[in-house]
């Protein structure tokens, strides 16, 4: 039995590795095209981010590839009547399905590790590469045109020259947040620093003279001014965070919700005490609801990401649980026919239902603790019916 199980396991691994390599290569081009379209990367930047796109695609390719590998191997076993011979020899068919189930459990763990560790690491490196590209574009624009204007972001910069990352005699005109009058700053030089997480560029001015229409003129030896990035990068989505980082952001969102509610309760009590009943129907009350809704939506998205990460990783096991006995029951068909007959309901039901539950969970309509497992529960029910038929006949 161990020899037979090892033979099946090695067949599964060999076919899975071959199919995974081919499918990943095709999807990598899709990922590269998406990044090029979104950020206008050149050939050098594409080659730089290519090693990070590959692991970010694996969690999506592993389940379908595993299902195809199981269809190939167990379809051949069923078509060659090897399972019939094993049953005639008194071997339980479940022992022949055990290698596939073990491989499904192992790949579920690998898929979770990829989504929790590898993808956040890959996305950080991709964004750093894009940030370096933006930095070079920003400096090259100042070097060639001696000026850059971002009127919609509230600032413009003109320089006499650029030396490395140092701006020579820069003149900065910007509109500080919360103010109506612009400020003009002129310095001997300025160092540039890109803050990717803060979505801003920090200008460290030396010997700075400033002039404001509302506050006159002045001088400071050193001053740091943050201005927005010319092209806003995509912020860190929950999918790009590890479980530990998600827990930190969940705690921060919960604390903000509690603080907002406490602050509103105090202001409501004060309004009732002073008889200011108009405040309860005024803009302050709607502002409270808006702030509370923003934090609640953020918390719901983070909770959904945690549970969906476990559920999507476990789909490898449930795909095998359904695909292996289904391939055996369809032994007289071609393995591709067996695969499509099994994968088509998954494509039409499993993934749309999973996306529906994910959207409802993110909006706070349903609890992601059980909602994200509904699709896997359907696979389990279908697998039990197919498995029963295979074991019986």
Are 45 and 130 in contact, with CB atoms under 8 Å apart?
yes
User: Which residue would you say has higher pLDDT here, 35 or 156?
Assistant: 156
- CB burial string 375-386: b at 16+ within 10 A, e below: bbebbeebbeeb
Dist. CA 276–CA 242, nearest whole Å:
47
Three-state SS for 92-150 is: CHHHHHHHHHHHHHHHHHHHHHHHHHHHHHHHHHHHHHHHHHHHHHHHHHHHHHCEEEE
**3-state class (DSSP) for residue 163:** strand
Give the C-alpha distances (Å, rounded to integers) separating 293 from 258, 290, 340.
Answer: 12, 5, 43
Has residue 378 got a pLDDT over 90?
yes
| 8 A C-beta contact, residue 188 and residue 169 | yes
CB 98, CB 83: distance < 8 Å: no
- Tell me how far the alpha carbon of residue 31 is from its chain's centroid: 13
What confidence score (pLDDT) does residue 103 get? Answer: 92
**pTM for the full model?**
0.71
Which pLDDT value is given to residue 254? 85
pLDDT of 213: 67
- Choose the weakest-confidence range: 42-51, 74-83, 106-115, 120-129: 42-51
The mean per-residue pLDDT over the stretch 373-393 comes to 87
pLDDT tens by residue, 160-188 = 888 888 888 888 887 765 556 678 888 88
Per-residue pLDDT tens over the stretch 235-274: 557 777 888 888 888 888 888 888 888 877 787 777 777 7
Q: Which DSSP symbol is given to 28?
A: H
Q: Which stretches within the chain are classed as H helix?
A: 2-39, 43-79, 82-88, 93-113, 119-145, 243-274, 283-329, 335-345, 351-362, 368-371, 374-392
Q: CA-CA distance, 371 to 216, in Å (whole number)?
A: 60
């Amino acid at each position: 039995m161990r020899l037979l199980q090892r033979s099946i396991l090695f067949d599964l691994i060999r076919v899975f590795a071959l199919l995974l390599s081919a499918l990943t290569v095709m999807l990598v081009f899709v990922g590269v095209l998406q990044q090029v379209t979104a950020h206008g990367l050149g050939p050098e930047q594409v080659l730089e981010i290519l090693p990070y796109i590959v692991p970010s695609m694996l969690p999506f390719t592993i389940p379908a590839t595993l299902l195809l590998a199981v269809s190939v191997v167990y379809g051949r076993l069923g078509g060659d009547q090897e399972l019939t011979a094993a049953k005639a020899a008194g071997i339980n068919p479940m022992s022949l399905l055990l290698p596939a189930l073990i491989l499904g459990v192992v790949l579920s763990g690998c898929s979770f590790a990829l989504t929790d560790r590898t993808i956040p690491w890959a996305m950080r490196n991709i964004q750093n590469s894009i940030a370096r590209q933006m930095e070079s574009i920003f400096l090259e624009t100042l070097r060639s045109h001696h000026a850059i204007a971002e009127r919609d972001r509230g600032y413009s910069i003109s320089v006499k020259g650029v030396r490395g990352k140092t701006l020579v005699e820069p003149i900065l005109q910007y509109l500080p947040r919360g103010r109506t009058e612009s400020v003009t700053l002129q310095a001997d030089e300025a160092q540039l620093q890109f803050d990717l997480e803060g979505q801003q560029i920090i200008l460290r001015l030396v010997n700075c003279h400033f002039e404001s229409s509302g506050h006159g003129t002045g001088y400071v030896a050193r001053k740091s001014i943050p201005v927005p990035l010319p092209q806003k990068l995509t912020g860190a989505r929950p999918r790009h965070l590890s479980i530990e980082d998600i827990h930190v952001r969940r705690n921060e969102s919960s604390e903000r919700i509690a603080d907002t509610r406490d602050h509103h309760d105090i202001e409501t009590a004060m309004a009732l005490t002073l008889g200011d009943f108009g405040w309860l129907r005024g803009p302050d009350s709607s502002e409270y609801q808006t702030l509370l809704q923003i934090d609640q939506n953020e918390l719901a998205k983070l909770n959904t990401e945690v549970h969906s990460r476990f559920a999507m990783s476990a789909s490898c096991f449930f795909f095998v649980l359904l695909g292996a006995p289904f391939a055996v029951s369809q032994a007289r068909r071609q393995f591709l026919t067996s695969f499509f007959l099994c994968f088509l309901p998954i494509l039409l039901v499993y993934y749309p239902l999973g996306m529906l539950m994910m959207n409802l969970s993110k909006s706070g309509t349903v609890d992601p603790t059980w909602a994200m497992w509904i699709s896997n529960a359907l696979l389990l029910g279908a697998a039990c019916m197919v498995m029963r038929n295979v074991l019986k006949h």
